[in-house]
Amino acid sequence: MGKRILLHVCCGPCSTSSVERLIQEGYEPVLFFSDSNIFPYEEFVKRYENLLIVAEHYNLQVILDEWDHEEWLEAVKGHEEDKEHGARCSICFHFNLERTARKAAELGIDEFTTTLTVSRFKNSRKIFSEGEAFEGFREFDFKKKDGFNRSIILSRELGLYRQTWCGCEFSKGERNAP
Ligand code: SF4
């Protein structure tokens, strides 16, 4: 078994090629579904259930964080009207990565990263600049090495649901995820 790394997962499809790459690089990913940004709750559950398919396929542990959407709304307050990729998204990345850093410390896992960089709609540098605030964060640009296309192929193979918007209520209608 490789070295454990806590992988913050935004959804099943993005986890596929990220997990594959981490395993290829000698890691044993522990999957952490922490996505209080997702709205409504039914969508959160649907994305989680699709992650369980991936976890079963690769035989990996999954940890489910609570859905704390009220706290997330408080964090992005004042940025509801921001365009996607603006300040609201940076706050959102920070929010989820902070919870992941806390969970990694709690579990005694030295390193953590996120699947958020798989999306061709997300700027990996912005994600890294939020992650850098936390000890143990590792920069993996999962869209590199054909990661985005690979996630589509693997998602099809596993029959995963692929959503058409990023996640929060403010991104609905923007149709640009993953
Ligand atoms: S659009 Fe996506 S990244 Fe941006 S705030 Fe909403 S859920 Fe978070």
- Give the pLDDT score at 177: 53
Q: Which residues line ligand 1 (CB under 6 A)?
A: 37, 84, 88-89, 92, 166-168, 170-171
pLDDT of residue 34: 98
The stretches in the chain having pLDDT less than 70 are 1, 173-178
> String of b and e for 100-128 (b: at least 16 CB within 10 Å)?
bbebbeeeebeebbbbbbbbeebebebbb
* 3-158 homologous superfamily: HUPs (3.40.50.620)
What pTM, to 2 d.p., does this model score? 0.96
177 alpha carbon to ligand 1 midpoint, in Å?
A: 10
Which residue(s) pair with 9 in the sheet?
A: 33
pLDDT of residue 2: 86
Looking at residue 178, its pLDDT comes to: 53
Instruction: Report helix, strand or coil for 175.
Output: coil
- Protein residue with its CA nearest to atom 2 in ligand 1: 166
